[in-house]
Structure 1
Amino acid sequence: MMLTAIGLMSGTSLDGVDVALIETDGKRVKAFGPSGYRPYTEKERDLLRQALAEAVNLPQRDARPGILPEAERVVTLAHAEAVASFTAQHRIAREDVDIVGFHGQTVLHRPAQKMTVQIGDATALARAIHIPVMHDFRAADVAAGGQGAPFVPVYHRALAQSLEREGPMAVLNIGGVSNITYIDGADTLIACDTGPGNALLDDFMYRVAGQPYDCEGRMAAQGHADEAWIARALQHPFFVRPPPKSLDRNDFAALALRDMPPADGAATLTAFTAAAIARIVPLLPKAPQSWIVAGGGARNLTMLRMLRERLAPATVEAADALGWSTDAIEAQAFGFLAARGLKGLPLSYPATTGVPIPMTGGLIARP
């Protein structure tokens, strides 16, 4: 039975809430619906940055000390506003939506301590939008010993099934953290985080230029990457660990640049992200012949150029070129995952998160 699902995603880049409608039975995608976006205000972003800093020492996943209750309220309200404006704009009746997939805002991801924390009040959201909400997708995986990330691979596989391509391919999502899904036919599905995505670059741009990100990679295009700094950064032990593996947004925060002109700093951090992605290739069964890039990084033309240089001779193309939605793909994925969760289908697998057995997940909050 096909379900109509709305997916919501607020990623580690802290830019805003993505919304997307999808028709699916949890195994294949029947149709893409419209998508939308509700940006965070600068005040909301500042609050979330503070929440990230304060969440580092959380004693347990349901604790909400300090600024976190206010941050959770803001996240919930932003998601409710996103759904309300999206359904009104596209004239979608709430009774026509079967489920909403609500990821929440990750403020801490420490799978080694069996801790993953996404703030957002699903019960309050369900009451506000009058639609059932599936949430807390990652907790069961982490509790069972999995990495709890990445969670989008099953959706990437559903999308890739429509492409008739030779050889292995990789779907690369560059959000705050970068992650890949490695697909080789119907049977082989491997996934992991590869290292920093936009987080280090975004934080640098905010610090040196007061900008939330490097638009189209223009700042990086004017600079020169410090290859010696990149070589030192790549000595981090994360890069030699085999998949599955995952990261917290702030795991590389200590690598902040010092005393470097803004353009050179942007170029260095962009090149570091591309180099970190390339480091996963020797750890895969075979080198991917094609790469499809989604997430905010797909809009960064300098990032795409650097990826093509480091991943040659493989092809590298933005997801939009295939008719996929670069911006909405993660929101679509959580609509897809919500449909899978309703049907009791696995959301994660041993080769995607390291969980011992295929795991279902998600909790349902009803209006």
Structure 2
Amino acid sequence: MAELTRAIGLMSGTSMDGIDLAMVETDGDCVVRRGASSFTAYEPAFRARLEQALDAAREIGAREERPGDLAALEAELTDRHAAAVEAFLAREKLSPDAIGVVGFHGQTVLHRPHEGLTVQLGDGQRLADRLGIDVVHDLRANDMRLGGQGAPLVPAYHRALAAGLEGDWAGKTPVIFVNIGGISNITYIGEDDTLIAFDSGPGNTLIDRWVKRHAGVPYDSDGTIASEGRVLAGLVNRYLDHPFFTAPERISLDRNDFPLPDDSEASLEDGARTLAFVTAAAIAKSQAHLPVKPKLWILCGGGRHNRRIVEDLTVATRHTGQLILAEDAGFNGDSMEAEAWAWLAVRSLKGLPLTYPGTTGVREPATGGVLARARA
């Protein structure tokens, strides 16, 4: 067996709710030993600063630019990630020397694939120096330089997990991993190991923004608000008529690509219910871009905690395969993206591909990432 590297992955997604951390031991290929994980929530004031950063980031024309408060915010964000790692190591009674590498995603504040521009706040060298651990960061940029969309990056890890499915799920292909974060994306693994992945539409971002505007809460816990509402067919049809869904090619989405409904169009409850339905319908609609209908759907990400999304997706996919939660297959649906970032960091160190033509549209399989070595 190839030598295994113990790695930590850090993920702060489009929901901007906090830092997911996960540890794995891996050869960067098919051997994945999943370890402990943690979540560090952002308090409302810091989350509000991140949301304001999206407006400031619109002025960015080159990746290194940090207009307004972005430079100071980047430093604080990095320090918060460092503190999360330090707390995790203390909890697990591990020294920094026990970790081979940290995979650092940072916080995406701008993603314009049509311009070849993506910006993630996060200072890899600052993180490496504070932790005393080498850090791999900026994993999307090389893919975009080579003609890719820069997202999604998790699919290669999904394929590694699929290879290890056991029991009732072993060999059940084609299999789809559905990740519902701020944006939803899917990974398709075919019987011949074909790998296809793309963003499928809005995930939690519209629901989160809607309930925050109308109820002052950051998200619809368990779909409780949506459970009191009804689906507004006209609003659903307007979303699903968006050019994203009718275009022959898949593109990577930004959280601002889909606008919220006007306040007059729906009540709090009807808006939450309708947007949950849109999330599920968009995922089901993505099957039109797959070569073969899946036999198994594995649901990951925060959206699997919204029971209305899960129920709608179960109904929408009932004729095309069985839908299960990540935990039913022995995975952790909350830490999977952070695990992926740890795994991708090890692959980056070895110069192995992170993205493929079928996942991001890159011209050929491409590695990526920038290595920041810890300085004494």
TM-score under structure 2 normalisation? 0.95
Q: Which residue of 2 aligns with 1:233?
A: 239
Are 1:323 and 2:330 an aligned pair?
yes
User: Which of these residues, 333, 339, 357, is aligned with residue 340 of structure 2?
Assistant: 333
Counterpart position of 1:17: 19
The letter for the 2-side match of 1:351 is G
Aligned residue for 2:340, secondary structure, equals helix
Q: Which runs of 4+ in 1 moved over 6 A?
A: none
Q: Could you tell which deviates more after superposition, 335-344 or 316-325? A: 316-325
Within 5 Å, give how 1:117-266 maps onto structure 2.
117-163=119-165, 164-253=170-259, 255=261, 258-266=264-272
C-alpha distance in 1 between matches for 2:121 and 2:304:
27
Q: Which amino acid aligns with 1:221?
A: S
Aligned equivalents of 2:142 and 2:363: distance in 1?
A: 12
Q: Deviations over 1:62-94 (max 9, x none)?
A: 100012112212211110111010010011111
Any gaps of 5 or more consecutive residues in structure 1? none
**What SS does the corresponding residue of 2:21 show, helix, strand or coil?**
strand
- 1:244–1:351 contact (8 Å) kept in structure 2: no
Report deviation, 1:57: 2.7
- Distance in structure 1 (CA, Å) of the matches to 2:144 and 2:31: 27
2:36 maps to 1:34: yes
Q: Distance in 2 between matches of 1:308 and 1:16?
A: 28
2:95 maps to 93
Kept after mapping to 1: 8 A contact 2:210/2:260: no
Residues 172 and 296 in structure 2, CA contact (< 8 A), matched pair in contact too: no
Q: Aligned partners of 2:44, 2:160: CA distance in 1, in Å?
A: 36
Q: Give yes or no for contact 2:244–2:250 (8 Å, CA) kept in 1.
A: no
1:10-49 deviations in Å (ceiling 9; x for gaps)? 0000010010000000102341110011111111100000
1:301 aligns with 2:326: no
CA contact under 8 A between 2:106 and 2:120: conserved in structure 1?
yes
1:58 matched residue in structure 2: 60
CA contact (8 A) 1:178 1:197 kept: yes
Query: Is the 1:257–1:265 Cα contact (8 Å) retained in structure 2?
Result: no
Between the aligned partners of 1:351 and 1:205, the Cα distance in structure 2 is 35
Q: Is the 8 A contact 1:191 1:243 kept in 2?
A: no
Matches of 1:59 and 1:265, distance apart in 2: 35
2:362 match: 355
Alpha-carbon separation, structure 1, partners of 2:109 and 2:272:
25
Deviation digits for residues 183-234 of structure 1 (CA, Å, limit 9, x no counterpart): 1135200000001000000011111111111001111111101111111111
Q: CA offsets, 1:272-326, max 9 Å, x none?
A: 1111111111111011121111000011111100101111122111101211011
AA partner of residue 165 (structure 1): G
Preserved CA contact (<8 Å) 1:190 1:244:
no
- What is the aligned partner in structure 2 of residue 288 from structure 1? 294
- RMSD over aligned CA atoms reads 1.2
Amino acid aligned to 2:191: G
Contact 2:105 2:139 in 1 (8 A): yes
Secondary structure at 1:334 match in 2: helix
Q: Which residue identity lines up with residue 252 of structure 2 in the other structure?
A: S
